Structure 1
Amino acid sequence: MTPEQLADRTARAVDAAVRAGRTLGLTVTEPRVLHDVFSVVVHLAPAPVVARVLTVLPHYADLAGQARRQRAELDLARWLADRGTPVIPPSPLVPAEPVQCDGLSMTFWQFVAEDADREPDYVANAGRVPELHAAMRDYPGELSYLSAAEPRFIDDGLVRLADHPDLIDPADLDRARREWQILGPVVRDRATFARTFPGIELQPVHGDCPAVNIFPGVDGDRYADFEMVTLGPVEWDLAGVGPDGAAAYDREAQRRGMRRLDRDVLRFVDAVGMLRFVAALALAPQLPLLAEAARTLPEQWRPMPFAGGLTG
């Protein structure tokens, strides 16, 4: 997409958020874009409400599927907030339901002022994830097994990348497909996971690297962005954090009487996470910064154990 097309997409998302917010009774006169990557995040000022509008999606995504995932996120965030967990909660000024407007699906959240001067410390953040896992453990909502891995997304991306040698070397794409033949069955089937990793329990987890999704509010840090919430091993939330982040998690988990990370499972989730990143390159026509990220992919991925060390 050209810069003009990207700007038009952002403007369309802002217009839809403003229109939907006003329909819900909010006063919106000074909308301000806070974030614009896979979603456009808009502060509907002066209302203390933030709209998150999904914009970068695979071709098969439909409004019904988007709404299901958004509803799961809203339900979990509200449940955590009601129990005192520091999260960005759904806005109390509108119903905690996905809203669709102009062909876009969105959710509405309480506005929280950001401490923009504070640099994120992802290793320290990883040490806070056991607190979140302990809080999520008893969540009663129904969640699907490893839905955050998005096997259909990986399937589709690996097919589409055959037409994009500019984004991935054919040899790397071949490796991705061979790895997915081994990893895919474990991702898709809970019983296969249990046979592969006996004794590793599953629980509700954030789904999208919570160490990166801790929001630095002026009134304190808050967990945020639960749109990938899923049922999985706790290791799923530590994919890609590196050895220092894993060690920080283990120290806090041990202090709380929780189990340490299993290194075999961690290699598995690291491998699946890398394949999700590879598949996401197929979205580069919608999000050009992915093409830039593709340049660093080989040096990160090639040294990793093939398929996380699994042999199929």
Structure 2
Amino acid sequence: MLTPGEMTARTGRAVAAARAAGTALGVRVDEPRVLYDVFSVIVHLAPSPVVVRVPTVLPPSRIGDPEAQAAQQRRELAVTGWLADRGHPVVPPSALVPPEPVLREGFSMTFWQLVDVLDTPPDLETRVAQTTRLHAALRDYPTSSGELSFWAPYGTYIPEGLIALEDMPDVLDRADLQRAQREWSIIAPVLTSQSAFEAAFPGVPIQPIHGDAPYHNMITTPAGELWSDFELVTLGAVESDLAMVGRDALRAYDDAARNLGVRTLNPDVLRITDAAANLAVVSCLAMAPQLPMLVGGVAPALDAWRATPELTSL
């Protein structure tokens, strides 16, 4: 486990890299300011209206592989830029630098437009209804280039996390790990193969989705709420973006879907994607050595998962 001093040093290196990268791109940087520091260090290159996201806590396969990380970041920049160009409420890539990830001092980082943030408590049902509109917009995103793969976060991060956790008995109890491995063996076939998913759930379309709880990854500004953090953008069923939101929020999504003339949620797919979300929580513990607070942070979600019946079939 990293010590507090080591994490502070890591943050310092990320800020220095962001400053150096921004300066090299012609951005004026007088005093970089850390806005957020958990999985990524978010740096405002003050006084310029530019924010840099520097991921510092990475899944096992991304450690030491900034090129693979940059490939996913290119997908994120492409999707968010496409949404912004069409007037959708999204935090856009910075217009002051090329829309490309930048590799600097071992970090792969992206540059975004600074927005004013309001400290307003979010309304879950409203945000879930906005997620319906996001999905409706993403239906038109061109996928013919093949840049988006099928359920990339699930197919990569869950199995590699579970493998890494085999060597971390102090982080996850062996019985929990074995249960997670059993559940993954049941759902993996339909979450790692588009043809298998389509055979199991005929009539449920695959489309671009946010990939990481878009209702949590929204920023409240004076101009309204903006979608953000498309780091895990992928192809999948829209149900994946709504894991474990609760009945009222699911009802809000379906009501908004009917108003927009798009499909409502499929309960069978929700059951599978809820299970996958639980396993994503388990597997994220593989990053605990980089971020020790994860152990306590996910404890309530793990307790909720343990309290549910084990998944034994699709």
TM-score (norm 2): 0.94
Amino acid at match of 1:247: R
Q: 1:106 aligns with which of 109, 115, 135?
A: 109
Offset, 1:306: 3.0
Residue 82 (structure 1) aligned with residue 85 (structure 2): yes
Structure 1 stretches of 4+ with a deviation exceeding 4 A read none
Cα drift, residue 214 of structure 1: 1.1
208-217 or 136-145, larger mean C-alpha shift: 136-145
TM-aligned CA deviation for residue 294 of structure 1? 4.0
Structure 1 match to 2:30: 29
> Any stretches of 5+ residues in structure 1 without a counterpart?
none
C-alpha distance in 1 between matches for 2:233 and 2:61: 20
Deviation of 1:252 after TM superposition, in Å, equals 0.7
What are structure 2's unaligned runs of at least 5 residues?
Answer: none
Match for residue 166 of structure 2 among 162, 167, 181: 162
Deviations 1:153-173, CA, capped at 9 Å, x for gaps:
222221222233332222111
Return 95-104 or 187-196, whichever deviates more.
187-196
Is the aligned partner of 1:252 residue 2:256? Answer: yes
Which deviations, in whole Å up to 9, do the C-alpha atoms of 1:213-239 show, x marking residues without a partner? 111112211111111111111101111
Q: Give the equivalent residue in structure 2 for 1:144.
A: 149
> What secondary structure sits across from 1:128 in the alignment?
helix
Q: Percent identity?
A: 50
State the Cα distance separating 1:184 from its structure 2 match: 1.2
Aligned to 1:285: 289
Residue pairs, 1:4-83, within 5 angstroms: 4-61=5-62, 62-83=65-86
Aligned residues: 308
- The DSSP-based 3-state class of the residue aligned with 1:215 is strand
CA shift, 1:59, in A, is 3.2
Contact 1:123 1:241 in 2 (8 A): no
CA distance, structure 1, for counterparts of residue 218 and residue 26 of structure 2? 30
RMSD over aligned CA atoms reads 1.4
* Secondary structure class of the residue paired with 2:72: helix
* TM superposition shift of 1:303: 3.4
8 Å CA contact retained: 2:61, 2:160: no
| Pairs within 5 Å for 1:207-218 | 207-218=211-222
1:290 aligns to what SS in structure 2? helix
Q: Secondary structure at the match of 1:306?
A: coil
Match of residue 199, structure 1, among 200, 203, 206: 203
- Partner Cα separation in structure 2 for residue 263 and residue 60 of structure 1: 32
Alpha-carbon displacement from aligned partner over 1:195-220 (angstroms, at most 9, x marks no partner): 21111111111111110011111221
Contact 2:60 2:164 in 1 (8 A): no
In 2, Cα distance between the equivalents of 1:219 and 1:30?
27
CA contact (8 A) 1:268 1:310 kept: no
Inter-CA distance 277–222: structure 2 relative to 1 (3 Å threshold) = same
Evaluate the alpha carbon distance shift between residue 294 and residue 139 of structure 1 in structure 2; reply closer, same or farther with a 3 A threshold. Answer: closer
Secondary structure, in 3 states, of the residue corresponding to 2:166?
A: helix
